[in-house]
Amino acid sequence: MKKWIALAALLGVFSMVAAGCGSDEETSSSSAAAPAETEAPAETEAPAETEAPAEESEYKQCAAGETDGDLNFYNWTEYMDPDLITAFQDEFGVTVTEDFYPSNEEMVAKVQQGNSGYDMVVPSDYMVSILIEEELIQPVQEAAVPNKGNVDALFADPPYDPGAVYSSAYQWGTTGIGIDIGVTGPDIPHTWGLLFDADLAEQYGLAGKISLLDDPRETMGAALKYLGYSLNSTSESELAEAEAIIKDAVGRVAAFDSDQYSELVVAGETIVGHGYSGNFLWDFEEGESEYDYFVPDEGGTVWVDNMAVLSDAPHPCTAFAFMNFLLDAENGAQLTNYNWYASPNGAALPYIDQEVLDNPIIYPPDQSKLEYIADTGDFEINFTDALTRARS
């Protein structure tokens, strides 16, 4: 988890800022969760003017620190420090139940039905626009979330949610390639061709040892970048080329997986995987080989995941209390030190481990070829359909 000031300006500031993923099964827990993905082209313009927030009377009004029941949290897997969950439960005397999803699309499909029972979700940037348009999330109540002011100015006025009226930034990172260079050797080309090119697969012994994300926008986007196009292309011919690239690669792909892609590399079940920066870093620490993660030279995804409270949340006050808790400076740093995704919480910077701040995988120094995933409106279904056809 997917657009804001021209990316060139964004990139210049990113190095000064401290910032998938997903589960194939929906599970329930009172502790941990994980990431998502997102992007926007360097010149992506802000979406059409956001509708004015609903009248305050339409939503239950909450005070800072107020709770109104237990919290049902719908998140990406391995994205939340369980100690933070425990600390919130202890401080506020509530129970947090966490369910997990592998893609933005699956999350939206669940909450679109209404009465999902969830209070808070963590959509990627492009998906925030869709949730706003479909009136599935409610405005952030500033009085209940005073720590929202800790969010760095870079993330305070995103084009997918002008003024951050409906959301608050959670974490950011990149989507790229993780690889076992103990098997391939270190001199490998930094290209999406490692996933899509038959000759490179043969050269490095990758056939049957490749994983791709089970995510239409990310996987179609990777193929589009490989072909030299924007991952937000709305050209049917360009999308058809990307579909053909993926279809040709399917026979060499071991799995379409948004949950265990990094674990598969470390376990030796795959050699190269498509996935999110933080998950690869986390699992590579446990591996016994040598590994590398990079955004290919053709470019890739930069994403920002966000916290949002559903319009029909059963416990909105508890959700806003949890949002405020995570936006605390020290709690925000703890989250980044745990999951190794960059933090958008400017106040958290002094508390983030220096080794995290200095890691170029977490805080990449050059994002000149990165894009956010933009909401392409009615064209969105074409990405899903293209990936479905390519895999069939």
Looking at residue 343, what is its pLDDT? 96
| Residues in a beta bridge with 73 | 98, 120
Q: Hey, what CATH topology would domain 7-45+59-173+302-364 get?
A: D-Maltodextrin-Binding Protein; domain 2 (3.40.190)
The maximal CA–CA distance of the chain, rounded, in angstroms, is 63
DSSP per residue, 83-113: HHHHHHHHHHT--EEEEE-SSHHHHHHHHHT
The distance from CA 210 to its chain's CA centroid, rounded to whole angstroms, is 21
Q: Do domains 7-45+59-173+302-364 and 174-301+372-391 have the same CATH topology?
A: yes
The CB density around residue 330, as the number of other CB atoms within 10 Å, is: 12
Residues 266-283: pLDDT tens digits?
A: 999 999 999 999 889 889
The CB density around residue 340, as the number of other CB atoms within 10 Å, is: 25
Residues 59-111: pLDDT tens digits?
A: 999 999 999 999 999 999 889 999 999 999 999 999 999 999 988 999 999 99
Dihedral sign for Cα 22, 23, 28, 34, please.
Answer: negative
Looking at residue 57, what is its pLDDT? 52
Token pair listed for 154:
């870079």
Looking at residue 391, what is its pLDDT? 96
Q: Which of 263, 267, 174 is nearest to 222 (CA)?
A: 174
168-180 and 96-100: which strand pairing? unpaired
Q: Hey, what CATH topology would domain 174-301+372-391 get?
A: D-Maltodextrin-Binding Protein; domain 2 (3.40.190)
The distance from CA 346 to its chain's CA centroid, rounded to whole angstroms, is 19
Roughly what angle, to the nearest 10 degrees, separates helices 329-339 and 316-326? 80
Helix, strand, coil shares of the chain as percentages rounded to 5? Answer: 40, 20, 40
Structural domain spans, the chain: 7-45+59-173+302-364, 174-301+372-391
pLDDT means per 10 residues, the chain with 392 residues, are: 32 34 37 37 39 59 97 94 98 98 94 96 94 97 97 88 96 96 97 98 98 96 98 97 98 96 97 94 91 95 95 98 98 95 96 94 84 89 98 94
Residues 156-189: pLDDT tens digits?
A: 988 899 999 999 999 999 999 999 999 999 999 9
